[in-house]
Amino acid sequence: MRVAIVTLCSLFSLPGLAAPSGVLIGLRDNSNTYRTIWIVAESGVPAVAAVVKGLVVPRKNGLWRIDVEQETCGDIGQYQVDELRIEPLDAGSGAPTPRDCETIAKASCGSVYPAGDGLTLEHWLLYAGPTHFAERFWFAESCGAHPVGETGFSVHDIDHPEQDVPMETAFGADRMDALQVAAREALICSTDDLDCIDSRDRYQVSRSSGWGIARAPGQWSVLVTLSPPDPSYPAPSPVITALPAPVTILGPSEGQTPTTAIEGLPEGDRSFSPAGDMVIVRSERLLAFRLGAGTIDGPPTRVETRNDEQVVMIEWAVGSQVPAWDTVLRGLSSTVPPANPQ
């Protein structure tokens, strides 16, 4: 285990870096467990400085944590629901906005709750940011009007997690056509599925299934489900479109991709710091590179991942945010795993 002990002077006063960046990377594994990796420059090299349970998101009133825990409720505890817990790291920064088991079960099952046949409802976060989060949910058992296996997507305001953001509100009439086109372009038809190939232009975005946000190379993209033009056709898998998620949902955290190619930078999902001094790349591995004058400055740092972890959050810190976040996050982190320069 590598434990880095540095002073704020050495950490944030680096040669050639007027305003070194930091980045929060949120990960979800295949058991629906979440953690946040905090990366900053140590002695000029990006390094993992802290690892914190849950997703730590920066908000206007400080750093908050979003996490998921399975809980039970109901008359005999037969309702199993993934609760969503949203709370500030500093108790004085605001009131928590949890979405608890009973609230979710009541909304999902209606009058059937709490004495019905039970429910297993899973929620997997696909994206988290300063103002909103997106999730995928599915019913492992039927409840009320929801059949077994029903799956859907939703986007929520962190301040009102019990309410979803309707597709029409997020895009407006002027962008719904663009979403429809992008969804059809993202539809993958197998080579022997002639019905799908011949009728691609007649598939419709399913508004009843909601919408979500998922990471695509270089951006957060809109995710939707398509309904086939004929009920006899098999329903396609949800599609991640090339349409970026609305800025009103995401905010301006990530920097612009340089117009000139950076020699030696691997292909994959890239996210650049707004200050232009660091980039993270997810391909077969999760790597962090220091940049200087439009080139790679030094060896990359490999961030160890586990259990097929997926990126569900990327939030950059620049300027005075870096030491402020660093102090809080190092105080929360119980261990600092190795981040290996390649």
Q: What is the pLDDT of residues 126-135, one digit of tens each?
A: 999 999 999 9
User: Cβ(290)–Cβ(41) under 8 Å?
Assistant: yes
* 67-81, 158-172, 319-333: least confidently modelled range: 67-81
Residue 84 has pLDDT above 60, yes or no: yes
How many degrees, rounded to 5, is the angle at CA 252 between CA 97 and CA 296?
Answer: 125
CA pseudo-torsion sign 225, 228, 231, 237: negative
Which of the four pLDDT bands, split at 50, 70 and 90, describes residue 338?
very low
Structure tokens at 168: 């029409």
What mean pLDDT do residues 212-235 have?
A: 94
Enclosing H/E stretch for 72: strand 62-73
Q: Give backbone dihedrals phi and psi of 10, rounded to 5 degrees, phi first.
A: -70, -30
pLDDT, averaged across the chain: 86
Q: What percent of the chain has pLDDT over 90?
A: 56
How deeply is 143 buried, as exposed, middle or buried, from its count of CB atoms within 10 A (0-12, 13-18, 19+)?
buried
The verdict on pTM exceeding 0.95 is no
Which of the four pLDDT bands, split at 50, 70 and 90, describes residue 121?
confident
What mean pLDDT do residues 243-271 have?
A: 90
User: Cβ(281)–Cβ(287) under 8 Å?
Assistant: yes
Enclosing H/E stretch for 164: strand 160-164
Residue 6 has pLDDT above 70, yes or no: no
3-state secondary structure 250-305: HCCCCCCCCCCCCCCCCCCEEEECCCCCEEEEECCCEEEEEEECCEECCCCEEECC
Residue 11 has pLDDT above 50, yes or no: no
Residue 103 has pLDDT above 50, yes or no: yes
Residue 342 has pLDDT above 80, yes or no: no
Looking at residue 339, its pLDDT comes to: 46
Looking at residue 235, its pLDDT comes to: 86
The DSSP secondary structure of 51-65, one letter per residue, reads: EEESEEEEETTEEEE
Instruction: Please give the residue that has the higher pLDDT: either 334 or 24.
Output: 24
Enclosing H/E stretch for 213: strand 211-216
What mean pLDDT do residues 93-113 have?
A: 82
Residue 170 has pLDDT above 70, yes or no: yes
Instruction: Please give the residue that has the higher pLDDT: either 119 or 241.
Output: 241
C-alpha span between 186 and 270 (Å, rounded) = 20
SS3 assignment, position 166: coil
Looking at residue 162, its pLDDT comes to: 87
Q: Are strands 269-272 and 286-292 parallel, antiparallel or unpaired?
A: unpaired
What mean pLDDT do residues 96-109 have?
A: 84
Residue 172 is which amino acid? G
Instruction: Please give the residue that has the higher pLDDT: either 10 or 261.
Output: 261
Instruction: Please give the residue that has the higher pLDDT: either 93 or 293.
Output: 293
Instruction: Please give the residue that has the higher pLDDT: either 201 or 116.
Output: 201
Which of the four pLDDT bands, split at 50, 70 and 90, describes residue 77?
low
Q: In what order do the strands lie in the sheet with 62-73?
A: 55-59, 62-73, 79-88, 119-128, 132-139, 151-157, 160-164
* 60-69, 253-262, 320-329: least confidently modelled range: 253-262
Neighbours of 147 (CB within 10 A): 10
Residue 96 has pLDDT above 90, yes or no: no
User: Cβ(245)–Cβ(222) under 8 Å?
Assistant: yes
What mean pLDDT do residues 323-330 have?
A: 94
Residue 319 has pLDDT above 70, yes or no: yes
How deeply is 62 buried, as exposed, middle or buried, from its count of CB atoms within 10 A (0-12, 13-18, 19+)?
middle
